[in-house]
Structure formats: structure tokens, C-alpha cells
Structure 1
Amino acid sequence: MGGEKTKRVIFVTVGTTCFDALVKAVDSETLQKELLAKGYTHLLIQMGRGSYLPTKSEGDCNLVVDYFTFSSSIADHIKSASLIISHAGSGSIFETLKLGKPLIVVVNEDLMDNHQSELGEELANRKHLYCASPQTLHQTIVDMDLNALVPYSPGDATPVAKHINRFLGFTDD
């Protein structure tokens, strides 16, 4: 049993869009070698509407790579992963942070409205995640220290709700 490696999965999600630049970035041999060097064993890519097909591999000395287009829920993939690399959609970001998983957000620079980069960069500044572009993803993985990430705590809306209830004439029970 001593020769078995612990399964450490990186889950990549692009959401429902096409983000071939991210899929191509994680399909790079140099990036995959870096992930192997960091102890990861499996790379699972949710590729959405993209047309770029990553190279599947079985493992041995390589990262085991697999992919799919869509899933009814990515929550199970996020829960079982050791690291998540995600597009910068707020749903994917906050679902991952809520589960306490380490996260690298990759901004899709081809989108018209770049509000995603603002969200990713703000959360990176607060040390909740790492933020990259497809071009900087490899260097982000080289430099990342997952122990430096700060757990994300969602805000407590209770005081606001109580204030609104009092304003509307409802009593606290």
C-alpha cells in the first residue's frame, strides 16, 4: 500500500460559455508537469460550449486528464477536488469559496463586459483566491501558496434584515 499515490484532483470549469483559451492553457504539457510536481494526480475539465478538445491521458508518469461538456451540477466535482481552476463567473466563484476549496480564477478577456476581472481581482486582493489570465495561469500555479489563502466568510445579512423588519413594523421573534 505504500506505493499508492493519494488522488489529488484539479477541477477546471468554464461554466456554460466557450472559454477555449482556458482549456488550451490547462492542456499545456508544461502546465501539467507543474501540477504533477505539486502533487496533483488528476485533471478534470468541464469545457462548456468550447470546441477545443483537450488530450485525454491515462496516467502512469502523467497527469490523468479527462473532460466533459456539461453536468447538471458541478458541486460534486468541486467537493471532491483539491484545487479548482474556474472562469470568473460569480456563481462558480462563490460556490467554490463557500465549500472552502482553493481556487484560481481565470478571467476570460474575450468577454465584452470585464466585471468578472473586477470580482476576481478584488477577491484575490483579499487573499481568498488567485486570479490569472490564460497567459499567466502557468506562472500563477508556479508561484501559488495555498496556505496563504484566507477562508472566505459570507456576510451576515441578519442585522440588515432585522433593520428592514423593524422599519416595516415587524417585531423580532
Structure 2
Amino acid sequence: MKRVFVTVGTTSFDELITRVSAEETLHIFKSLGYSRLTLQIGRGTVVPEPFSAECFTLEVYRYKDSLQEDLQRADLVISHAGAGSCLETLEKGKPLVVVINEKLMNNHQLELAKELHKEGYLFYCTCSTLPGLLQSMDISTLKCYPPGQPEKFSAFLNKVVGLQK
């Protein structure tokens, strides 16, 4: 049973939740062999109706004390571009698609996603380009992020946001 885990962290990213729970995207997940979609929706106002059918299950929750179990079980993680969510997923060695929230301004999410993509650690897109990316990406091309080096990620993040040259 292949699983997709979607997380928005503590934020609200209704556009992402709407996109991943849309019939078109559910069809794409099924065509790629995924049979379970878990949505962590944070403070969002969009709350998809959970369901369990013969070949697909959709689970929804706002928060848990820890996302460790969901991350561990996931075969694919789709996340907002929060640095903590990215690092946590990459350190677990999970394929990651980062979705940029275009409604947020001056938050460096795009720069972080671009850099980590350039290094080969993840894919990134916007809500509107997510379906196309899901159908065209090859997760076998992603590099494994070196675990246990938060200081390197911190230095990398400082460089991306302009705190360090």
C-alpha cells in the first residue's frame, strides 16, 4: 500500500489542500499506484471529507504531537515550503515535493525550494503545476539528503535568506 502524506505544518494553505484532494489529483495518485492519502491541514478552513473506498483511502487531521509516524510511513511527501517541514522530511530520506504558497510574500520559500531542487534533493511547484509535476517527475532521480547535519542546513538556509554570504 503506497502512501502520500501532505503537510502544511502549523499554517493554513487551503489552496494546497484543495488541489491535492481534487478529483483530478486523486485520479493521478491512483494511476501512480498510491492507495492512501493523509492530509495534515493545520489551521486551514478547507476540510475534505475523509473516505475509504475499495482501492483508496483519504484521511484528514489538523495537528498531532508529532508527524514522525506519518513521515515514516509515507512513500511520497507533499509539503508547504517551511524550512522545518523540508528538513524533517529530507532527513527521513523521503521523496519530497514542495509546493510554494504564492500568496505569501517575502518569505524565502521559493529561494529555499529552488536551491534544494538545484542540489537534487526535492521537486518543487505551485498548486497549479502540481498535477503536471506528479505525472512527470521521476523520484528515483532524487538524491538522499545527508542525515544528522542540521548545522549545514542552517548555514544553507542563512545563505538563502541573505543572513550569510
Instruction: Report TM bin, short chain.
Output: 0.7 to 0.9
Corresponding residue for 1:105? Answer: 98
CA–CA distance in structure 2, aligned partners of residues 85 and 49 of structure 1? 17
Report the Cα distance in structure 2 between the residues aligned to 1:8 and 1:153, rounded to whole angstroms: 24
CA–CA distance in 2 between the matches of 1:156 and 1:92? 13
User: What residue in structure 2 maps to residue 152 of structure 1?
Assistant: 145
Matched, 1:123 2:96: no
Whether the 8 Å contact between 1:27 and 1:55 is mirrored in structure 2 is no
- The 1:88/1:157 distance shift into structure 2, 3 A limit, reads closer
**Whole-angstrom CA distance in 1 between matches of 2:73 and 2:150:** 27
Q: Rate the CA distance shift 1:72–1:38 in 2: closer, same or farther, 3 A.
A: same
**Structure 1: runs of 5 or more not aligned:** 1-6, 159-173
**2:58 matches 1:65:** yes
Structure in which a larger fraction of residues adopt strand: 2
Query: Do residues 96 (structure 1) and 97 (structure 2) align?
Result: no
Identity over aligned pairs, percent = 39
In structure 1, the residue matched to 2:161 is: none
- What does residue 11 of structure 1 align with? 5
Residue ranges of structure 2 left out of the alignment (5+ in a row)? 153-165
2:114 match: secondary structure: helix
TM-superposed CA distance for 1:157, in Å, is 6.0
Partner SS, residue 25 of structure 1: helix
Paired residues for 1:27-38 under 5 Å: 27-38=21-32
Superposed structure 1 runs of 4+ greater than 4 Å apart: 154-158
- RMSD of the TM alignment (CA)? 1.6
In our comparison, the structure showing a higher alpha carbon Rg is 1
Q: TM-score, normalised by structure 1?
A: 0.83
